[in-house]
Amino acid sequence: MTVNIVKKYGDTEPLVLVVRKNNVADCMKNSPLSDKEKAFVEKNAEKNCKILNLSTLDIQKYVVLYEDGNLKTLRDSANAVCTKVEKSKKESLTVFCDEKEISLAFLEGLLLSAYKFDKYKSEKPTKVTTVNMLVKGLKKSEMESVLNLCESVCMARDWVNEPVMVLNADTFAKILHDEAVSLGVDVTILKQKQIESLKMGGLLGVNRGSVDEARFIVLEWKPENVAGEQPVVFVGKGIMYDTGGLNIKTGDYMYDMKSDMAGAATMAATIFAVAKDKLPIHLVALIPATDNRPCGNAYANGDILKMYDGTMVEVVNTDAEGRLILADAIAYANRYNPKVIVDAATLTGAAERAIGKYGIVAMHQNAQETMEQLKKAGDDVYERIAEFPFWEEYGELIKSDVADIKNSGAGVNAGMITAGKFLAHFAKAPFVHLDIAGVAFCEKDYGIYGKGATGFGIRLLHQWLKERC
């Protein structure tokens, strides 16, 4: 994607004006619209619509009416405009706006909407690839920071959309390695042997049924000015594919399980976005990565795993694998003496059943302040968080008869919370758990998030680190 700052409209490509609904006349004053067009917009702006169409036979022109405070609707309008432009097989457009904040939100909507996972399509669909910004006072650096964030989101969407036959733990580790090196992020990849010496029983247990080796990826962003500070440590679920293991998934439930590494993608993409912005934060991302398969020597129900921190875990369901690999990573996180540990994981179907695709299910242990900050950041960027209770009684549900704890609660109730409790057992610092199972992957078109991988949560975490942390 190319974004240019321009001083003049080129007169041929699609044009979109973004104007304040309550002040259309002023907003259009310096625009490339004719007096007649301006009059039309003034006359119709009051109507209950978000986009006015001024297109003629040779040229597409839209006026997007922005209502104060509603950036979400503005991004949705960007999505609608993007679709219209692409439908008419055009790849570039010019955005006119006389307020840069608004224009940047619109640009964000456009960039996210233009993403398509088309690398395996012989005939590529039309994509918007060039946006010209005709915006008073807009600086290159401001525009680039939006572009950087959106590129990080789309990079994560690419990883999540990629099937496991292409992206296994090793290839994923290599991609993250190269990206980290190019951005000045420290990276360490622990391979099978090292994971064995560290005795990460959760990661190794899940990996037993796989023909591919596991990886444990450590990314660290530590700019000089914050080197002494306690880090924020991110942990991301990197199940490259979740068959369910011996508790094999039936029906359609396995279909989108290439997306079971979306938590890992979220955390890696966020640390890369932070590095691109050179934010002054000490940030670590830990990614345990393997697929979950039922072959060969696969772990079985009744197995007892000795985790990295020594906790003994009874496996009662091989499909509750995410928490096993995350537990080792969370225990590993403790060694950084973190300010807070935040994990993102496509952890439970229960989270999706509870609130659908409209937000992230979250819980915290001793991290009230971070939770409040995250909720606010989520509201800022419309990637909202629903906090669930985390009462100690839920902890009772994962006690085991034969080991310390078991990897699934008794019965079907509150599955997202017992999963969270399992993770919290391993955290020795303030801890926030983000269950993104509902939002990470969408079979139907989901506005600016598109079809397939959404990248949901990256803008939220970036906003938190930038503005609220």
Binding site for ligand BES (CB under 6 A): 242, 260, 317, 319-322, 346-350, 352, 408, 415, 437
User: Is the CB of 135 or the CB of 437 nearer to ligand BES?
Assistant: 437
Residues 6+ away with beta carbon under 8 Å from 77: 50, 51, 64, 66, 106, 109
Least Å distance, CB 88 to ligand BES, is: 36
Q: How many residues bind Zn ion (CB under 5 A)?
A: 6
322 counts as binding Zn ion under rule CB under 5 A: yes
- The three-state secondary structure class of 57 is coil
Q: To the nearest 5 percent, what fractions of the chain are helix, strand and coil?
A: 40, 20, 40
Q: Token pair for residue 183? A: 């951005």
Q: Report the partner that residue 317 touches, choosing among ligand BES, Zn ion, none (CB closer than 5 to 8 A by kind).
A: ligand BES
Q: Token pair for residue 301? A: 């129900």
User: Is the CB of 260 or the CB of 303 nearer to Zn ion?
Assistant: 260
Least Å distance, CB 239 to ligand BES, is: 6
**Exposure on the CB side of residue 46, measured as CA atoms within 13 A:** 3
Burial of 409 (0-12, 13-18, 19+ CB in 10 A): buried
Q: Token pair for residue 193? A: 């042997």
Name which position in 319, 328, 343, 352 contacts Zn ion (CB under 5 A).
319
Angle between helices 169-183 and 262-277 (to 10 degrees): 10
Least Å distance, CB 14 to ligand BES, is: 37
User: Is the CB of 212 or the CB of 256 nearer to ligand BES?
Assistant: 256
Least Å distance, CB 169 to ligand BES, is: 16
Counted residue by residue, the chain has a size of: 469
Kindly indicate which of the ranges 174-182, 254-262, 385-393, 441-449 contains the residues binding Zn ion, using the contact rule CB under 5 A. Answer: 254-262
Q: Report the partner that residue 437 touches, choosing among Zn ion, ligand BES, none (CB closer than 5 to 8 A by kind).
A: ligand BES
Torsion region of 60: left, alpha or beta (phi above 0 gives left; psi -120 to 50 gives alpha): beta
Amino acid at 46: E
User: Is the CB of 94 or the CB of 454 nearer to ligand BES?
Assistant: 454
Q: What residues are annotated to the active site?
A: 249, 323
Q: Do β-strands 431-435 and 360-365 pair in parallel, antiparallel, or remain unpaired?
A: antiparallel
Q: Report the partner that residue 408 touches, choosing among Zn ion, ligand BES, none (CB closer than 5 to 8 A by kind).
A: ligand BES
Nearest 5°: phi and psi at 453?
-65, 135
Q: Token pair for residue 280? A: 């002054």
Q: Report the partner that residue 102 touches, choosing among Zn ion, ligand BES, none (CB closer than 5 to 8 A by kind).
A: none
Say which residue the tokens 């964030």 belong to. Answer: 149
Q: Report the partner that residue 350 touches, choosing among Zn ion, ligand BES, none (CB closer than 5 to 8 A by kind).
A: ligand BES
Q: Token pair for residue 422? A: 């399992």
Q: Between 227 and 246, how does the x/- string for binding to Zn ion read (CB under 5 A)?
A: ------------x--x----
Say which residue the tokens 């008419």 belong to. Answer: 88
Closest Cα partner for 327 from 202, 208, 231, 189? 202
Least Å distance, CB 102 to ligand BES, is: 35
- Closest residue to bound ligand BES by CB: 349
- The three-state secondary structure class of 198 is coil
343 counts as binding Zn ion under rule CB under 5 A: no
User: Is the CB of 441 or the CB of 464 nearer to ligand BES?
Assistant: 441
Say which residue the tokens 């004006």 belong to. Answer: 17
Q: Report the partner that residue 469 touches, choosing among Zn ion, ligand BES, none (CB closer than 5 to 8 A by kind).
A: none
Name which position in 260, 309, 314, 328 contacts Zn ion (CB under 5 A).
260
Least Å distance, CB 257 to ligand BES, is: 6
